[in-house]
Amino acid sequence: MAPIDPSVAKQLLEALIAGFAVLGGFMAYTSGFAAQSALEDDASPAELAHRINEGIGNGFATGAPFALVALMIMGWA
């Protein structure tokens, strides 16, 4: 078994962090935007929670491809 090069492990970890940061940013933005728009509409607490959950899901679906791109860029850089 070949030893693991510490610099490769560090690059992989940095790439994973970048990918998750992009994904988390998309999810936070879309859920926050959904919460803000629900509050402007004077939505009930149940509707507010539903919109936030939908925002998180939309952020995941939208951000996943960008997270993979960020992961690939950081991994190959």
Residue 15 in 3-state DSSP?
helix
pLDDT at 3: 77
Q: What is the pLDDT of residues 18-63, one digit of tens each?
A: 999 999 999 999 999 999 999 999 999 999 999 999 999 999 999 9
Number of domains within the chain: 1
1 has a pLDDT exceeding 70: no
Q: Is 11 helix (H, G, I), strand (E, B) or coil?
A: helix
**Is pLDDT larger for residue 17 or for residue 9?**
17
**Cα-based angle 35, 41, 47 (whole degrees, multiple of 5):** 55
CB 60 within 8 A of CB 23: yes
Spell out the residues 6+ positions from residue 59 whose beta carbon is closer than 8 angstroms to its own: 23, 26, 27, 28, 29, 30, 31
Domain of residue 70, residue span: 23-76
11 within some domain? no
In a domain, 36, yes or no: yes
How much is the pLDDT for 7?
Answer: 81
**12 domain residue, yes or no:** no
Mean pLDDT, residues 66-76 taken together? 92
Residue 10 has pLDDT above 70, yes or no: yes
Has residue 15 been placed in a domain? Answer: no
